[in-house]
Amino acid sequence: MSEVVADEPVGAGRRAVVITSSSRAAAGVYPDRSGPVIVERVRSWGFTAGNPIIVPDGDEFGLALRDVLASEPDLVITTGGTGLTPTDVTPEQTMPLLDRLVPGLAEGMRAAGVAKGVPMAMLSRGLVGIAGGCLVVNLPGSRGGVSDGLDVLEPVIGHVLQQLPGGDH
């Protein structure tokens, strides 16, 4: 195991992948507005991250997530598909790929949005869980929801990444 340097960013030497679930963005109807926000933030944490992978809602999202997880990243953050419309199936596509849930993080993200005066934040059905050695986080498709979720994740991501391979509490 490599030695951790105190001033090293939490994501240094680690890879993150961002997946945007949006049929309209995938079809070019409008640009992906939330995926780039996530990429910028995880890069600021020291992760290596490419541009967001943009896929339509539904089965195509699930296939993309399977492919990404097979490449063994340290962190996968998805955006979109967590609402209540019939095509919002990101949680249903994510759940079978998770080994364990981390419900406190998902609950904390929803609570943070509500605390900022966004009551609709409690309607997000996004999951947070572990798939192998990877943390998977479903965020809503809005830039505000993404920002709020990342604010909740940021102070704990280092501890999470230490825990996944069996680090001490």
Neighbours of 117 (CB within 10 A): 7
Query: What's the mean pLDDT when you consider all of the chain?
Result: 94
What CA–CA distances, in Å, run from 139 to 35, 94, 146, 158? 10, 12, 6, 19
Domains and CATH numbers, the chain: 16-83+92-102+124-163 (3.40.980.10)
Q: Using 70 as the pLDDT threshold, list the residues of the chain that sit under it.
A: 1-6, 167-169
Give the pLDDT of residue 151: 97
Q: Which residues pair with 15 in a beta bridge?
A: 48
pTM passes above 0.75: yes
State how far the Cα of 120 lies from the Cα of 68, in Å rounded to an integer.
30
